[in-house]
Amino acid sequence: MMADLYVGLVHYPVYNKNMDIIASSVTNLDIHDIARACRTYDVKKYYIIHPLDAQKELIKKIIGFWQTGYGYRYNPDRFEALNRVCWKNSLESVTEEIKAITEKNPYIVGTDAGTWPNMVSYGFLRAKLKDDRPILLLFGTGSGIEKQTMEKFDYILEPIYGREYNHLSVRSAVAIILDRILGETWWEK
Amino acid sequence: MMADLYVGLVHYPVYNKNMDIIASSVTNLDIHDIARACRTYDVKKYYIIHPLDAQKELIKKIIGFWQTGYGYRYNPDRFEALNRVCWKNSLESVTEEIKAITEKNPYIVGTDAGTWPNMVSYGFLRAKLKDDRPILLLFGTGSGIEKQTMEKFDYILEPIYGREYNHLSVRSAVAIILDRILGETWWEK
């Protein structure tokens, strides 16, 4: 038995480099790379969270290319990955959808390069996946999710430390974190 | 004491979808995302291996933007990451350079989604990093590095299994593999 994991990429409210609160742009590659990682680790849905309806149309256009005609024939695998991608206009509407799907209240888990009072380890989250509550794992774009929003989350996952300062793209961070919490236990071999 | 790790992204000889041997194109995002992962895990150099001189110019142009003027002022961190990126026209010239830098013969380690007779675990490679020989870790673009070339490598790293079929982009695979062999031992917490 494993709880269902959901991933959300937050485009609003996030900080820009000057720590202003903005809505960041959706990018083609964030959709593809993260969808493929979600497919690899059997994440149930990958939500792209952006307040503007126009971004919904862009996402539909990008996904549509791979789900019909030439794109589908060229790479049918991509269809499988992109099938899990879904636009929502707010964090609230994501949690509402997960509640409707699972009939359970999801744990909301943030990720960040900094440390927080409710910070938890990767081992803690691996164990939490054996609970019967779904988990919504959130990643920020830009310079990270706005502080007051972060403070409402149930847990914040420990940073990826690496060997030096963390320079990872959000795409690489998602891949590493999914591997740490859902990957095979390669260290036991 | 840790051995030096080098990463190479192989654009030739690789397979396309029809299993023809081709030289794949260099992409902007493979340069950036992998350079940032290499910087995070203190990889010494990130070699982009492509036989065409024209690709060298493209790489120099992309890197140059972030190393001077506007790009540098906008994001000085990126300079640090891209500083480790280096074009070479063949695998042989990469190993020659590593020999010249380290005065040692590097272990050549391939990565693949399939299994090989000389396949090794992540734990094996973590331990190998305590040897005094440098390691060159190679990733294929397209549909993977040509078989006869792979057969010459000292070791092939075990695949990333994930929970379903591996759909990862090469960028995500590099991030996960560097984390598994160079990341902090988060599973011991």
ipTM of the complex: 0.93
Spatial distance between the Cα atoms of B113 and A159, rounded to a whole number of angstroms: 28
pLDDT tens, position by position, B87-97: 999 999 999 99
pLDDT tens, position by position, B148-159: 999 999 999 999
Give just the sign of the alpha carbon dihedral A166, B37, B66, B68.
Answer: positive
pTM > 0.80: yes
Contact: A186, B123; criterion CB under 8 Å: yes
Residue linked to tokens 């160079």: B182
Residue linked to tokens 């996402």: A59
Contact: A169, B36; criterion CB under 8 Å: yes
pLDDT tens, position by position, B68-118: 777 777 777 777 778 899 999 999 999 999 999 999 999 999 999 889 999
β partners of residue A9: A48, A139
Contact: A122, B179; criterion CB under 8 Å: no
Min Cα separation A151/chain B (Å): 24
Range in A82-86, A106-110, B14-18 with the lowest mean pLDDT? A82-86
Q: Which residues of A touch B163 (CB under 8 A)?
A: 40-42, 182
Closest CA to A177 of A106, A121, A127: A121
Contact: B176, A179; criterion CB under 8 Å: yes
In this predicted structure, the answer to whether residue B179 has a pLDDT above a threshold of 90 is yes
DSSP-derived letter for residue A186 is G
Give the distance, in angstroms, between the CA of residue B162 and the centroid of all CA atoms in the same chain.
20
Spatial distance between the Cα atoms of B138 and A175, rounded to a whole number of angstroms: 19
Kindly state whether B40 is in contact with chain A, defined as any CB-CB distance less than 8 angstroms.
yes
Residue of B121, B168, B179 with shortest CB distance to A36: B168
Contact: B176, A171; criterion CB under 8 Å: no
Residue of A40, A122, A164 with shortest CB distance to B166: A40
